[in-house]
Amino acid sequence: MSTRITIDPITRIEGHLRIECEVDGGHVTNAWSSGQMWRGIENIVKGRDAREVWLFTQRICGV
Amino acid sequence: MKMNDLDVFRELLGGVSRRDFLKYFTIMASSMGLPLGVGAKMAEAVTNPKRPSVIWLSAQECTGCTESLLRATHPTLDHLILDLISLDYHETLSTPAGHQAEEARQKAIRDNKGKFVLVVDGSIPVKDGGVYCMIGGKPVLQIVKETAPQAGAIIAIGSCASWGGVPSADPNPTGATPVHEILKGTPVVNIPGCPASPYNFLSTVLYYLTFKKLPELDDQGRPKFAYGRLIHENCERRPHFDAGRFAVAFGDDNHRQGYCLYKLGCKGPETYNNCPSILYGDVGSGSWPVGTGHPCFGCSEKGVGFTAPLHALANIKYLTPNTFFTEAYPGKPETTSNIKALGAATAGVVIGAAGAAMLVGLGKKGNDTEEENKEG
Ligand code: SF4
């Protein structure tokens, strides 16, 4: 019988991360990680002047 | 403030001297344009054995604002965050994770109801029911709405939380919304900037802890002590602007000479912030965008940063009269042309010096309340 564990939020990292894992007899049999935040920077930079795209992509992560 | 309080405190601060400690708060007070005695009053407010609780919620952010706060190297700053304020919940800095982190947040809210300072960084996505930012399976939209009514004061740190910032840039894919729009009717202090200046944030927190009320805000909810003036008003390159000396290409001779960056798209003339006087990162003079040779792009100003094209010319808010303007009373004996020429030459210097003097007088004029003026 496997149990499913969810850890959300994962702290001490930048961003919002969620980890789910399946544990069976003390062994992790399957695991999923997912980012819980999306800003759509890919869509924001579409069609912009190439000289200012760095302004946006630079701010994907501030760490 | 009693001596022994300070001794206890010194221990808390890991051996920071009484002198440095008071000096720190005096600088903080003066950066807000408050009378000198207030520094001691602030020091007293934070030596209260029950450390004030701060709950920090992160929405659509990049952690840049947290990083800039942590990177501030003023001797007592890290202690201020870790020892003086009780930072009860912060996703990036909390030790517990998962449901334990959520419990810590709930507990901090319960224990400090009506008293804690709620800080939000990042914009709040409202599109599609708020699914674009979830914490513990809940939309951050819901978490902010639930937490805000219990807070004593609410501070939105960074441009994203203050007016939308990067995530709200066209076409705003997730419906990124500033905190004050989510919490309509509740006062929210905005500390815009990308990242926000840690000192503008800490000064606001200290002000609230000392006077139990928010500092005076402008029509956009920004503390006047920090956002009362345009960058252009205190920029060290301003004399070049007034004299018409501009860099016209990155790396050209004029750029190397340190000339004004207006023609490269500097948005200093339409951006309200104190970057030229407070600087960034505590590494000495010139440590701000224009100081390093890049035009200001208006990161903190709504409708400018991430909105106006990077290299487009700024809208100049106030024009300085130049020496070619005709006089009202030509030939009036008191004003000789010599004096006028001298005036034009020194105007630039005076404006430059005003920048240096900013730290002492940040544009707070005649609005000190009685409380602020009382000696601490
Ligand atoms: S345009 Fe920019 S670089 Fe020039 S004086 Fe104003 S703020 Fe400084």
pLDDT digits (tens, 9 = 90+) for B302-342: 999 999 999 899 988 877 665 555 667 766 655 544 444 44
Q: Extract the residue ranges of chain B whose pLDDT is less than 70.
A: 1-50, 72-84, 92, 94-95, 320-327, 330-376
* Whether residue B275 has its Cβ less than 6 Å from ligand 1: no
Record the tokens describing residue B55, joined without a space: 């709950």
Three-class SS state of A21: strand
Q: What is the ipTM of this complex?
A: 0.90
Q: What is the pLDDT of residues B132-180, one digit of tens each?
A: 999 888 999 999 999 999 999 999 999 999 999 999 999 999 999 999 9
Residue for token pair 């509740």: B186
Nearest CA in chain A to B172: A44
What's the rounded Cα separation, in Å, for the pair B101 and B81?
19
B351 lines ligand 1 (CB under 6 A): no
State phi, psi for B267 to the nearest 5 degrees. -100, 10
Strand partners, B153: B117
For chain B, which domains are there? 51-225 (3.40.50.700), 229-329 (4.10.480.10)
Q: What pTM does this model have?
A: 0.79
What single-letter amino acid sits at B232?
H
Cβ B238 under 6 angstroms from ligand 1:
yes
**CA–CA separation, B346 and B350 (whole Å):** 6
**Chain B neighbors of A43, CB-CB under 8 A:** 171, 173
The CA B256 to ligand 1 mean position distance, Å, reads 15
Q: Tell me the backbone φ, ψ of residue A32, rounded to 5 degrees.
A: -135, 140
| Measured distance CA(B228)–CA(B170) in Å, rounded | 28
H helices of B13-63, in order, are 18-31, 38-47
Cis? peptide before B195, omega within 30° of 0: yes
Cα(B38) to centroid of ligand 1, in Å? 33
